Amino acid sequence: MFCPSCGVHNDQNARFCTNCGLTLQTQAGGRPADGTMVDGNADGTMVDGAPASVLTPQPGPVVPPVVSPTVSPAVPPTVPNGPLPPPAKQGKSGGVGMIIVAAIVVIAILIGGTVWYLNTSNSNGVQPATQSQETTKPKKKAKKADGKSSDKSGESDKSDKTGGSGKSSKAGEPDASDKPGKSGKTDASKERDRRSNRILDKSSTDSIVDGYSTIDVGVSVMNEDGLRSYSSRNASLSFVAAGLYLPAWLDYRDTYGDRPDAYADSLTGMNNGSANGLIDAVGGESDLNEWLSDNKYYRTRFERDYGDVKASQNGYENYASPDDAARMLNEMAENGDDGLMNYDIASEGVVIPSGATVHAHRGQGIKDSYNYFMVISNGKKKVSVAVMTQNQGRAVAAQLASRMLDKVWNTMLRN
């Protein structure tokens, strides 16, 4: 039967509605014909439209109905298409993990940014502050009065120039191409003609020098404009620098842009005391050697004072190559300071060509070294000549110096 209250279907013999607990029969097997409720008012009035008189009283106690709680039907949740993602785990371990991941990301960003900055800085020539940098000694060197830098090169400077061509070349070798010109001569031929009186013939000059020694003699010749005219087989090697008073003078000139006239006697009289004072004026032997290196006089080095025989005997010596010495003489000639070199080399047997002017120094020292440093001039042009010997003695050195002056005069200056 159906419950008149909630409409739920119940068993035919059920006394109470299994859903709402409503009394369905007044006694076993009995039921109001119209399905109205049996519970009425005490005065017999109608209940829910059914008269009380039509109800048949039921003797005995009324068994109370068993009321089942009303259960609302479960409403299925709305499920989106596809499976739902699993819920995120919560708790201490999750929070710590997130913090660690965030820290790693921040560190990676910092490292990447630092590497980018360092690479950018280095590409712009800037060194990072954390990189160790070599500490360099401050240079005291000033520029010359004419504005030229004091850092000269012994290889790329004017000492290797071709006398106006702007290209470097070896002595005696033309640097012009063989392209024919309008005159019918090649550029190389014209260059050889132009330089014919500025370059000594290598073969004939070698025969003079090597005729004395192929080991203990070195000769170098240089034009006033820096063109190397001749270098013997040993001209780039170091010899004892006896009589070479030029390095400290040139250092002072280059450093302070002025002549050290207070020490002029180091040149005019080859005075050892004055020369040693000039070395002190440029900072001592250490600073002098630094200047020599900076200016690429690589075969020249000073280890003792002038005239210090004891230091020389103990192994401390001053050295220079003929090529370096000729370049120093060339510097003196440029400045006009060669006129201070007034030693009378003719008194020692050196023959001065007729018509020539020679300003010179000479020196003798350990290993029977004997040297002549000379600037020869015809009044218009100057040529520097360095003759350095060891184990030859003064007579041989003087004879070699005489023959070199004659060669230079007759080839380069007489015409």
Residue 369 contacts residue 388 (beta carbons within 8 Å)? yes
Residue 5 contacts residue 17 (beta carbons within 8 Å)? yes
What does the pLDDT look like over 221-247, one tens digit per residue? 999 889 999 999 999 999 999 999 999
Q: Quote the percentage of the chain above a pLDDT of 90.
A: 50
Residue 218 contacts residue 234 (beta carbons within 8 Å)? yes
**For residues 311 and 263, what is the distance between their CA atoms, to the nearest angstrom?**
23
Query: Per the structure block, which two tokens stand in for 75?
Result: 């409403």
Residue 378's contacts (CB-CB under 8 Å, 6 or more residues apart) are: 355, 356, 357, 409, 413, 414
- Comparison of pLDDT for 166 and 92, the residue scoring more: 92
- Concatenating the DSSP letter of every residue in 323-358 gives HHHHHHHHHHHHHTGGGG-B--GGGGTPPPPTT-EE
What does the pLDDT look like over 103-162, one tens digit per residue? 787 787 877 766 665 555 444 433 333 333 333 333 454 434 333 333 443 333 433 333
pTM of the model: 0.58
**For residues 361 and 375, what is the distance between their CA atoms, to the nearest angstrom?**
9
Q: At what angle do helices 322-335 and 246-256 cross, to 10 degrees?
A: 50
Find the range with the poorest average confidence among 76-80, 188-192, 308-312, 389-393.
76-80
- What pLDDT does 195 receive? 61
Q: SS3 helix, strand, coil % of the chain, rounded to 5?
A: 35, 10, 55
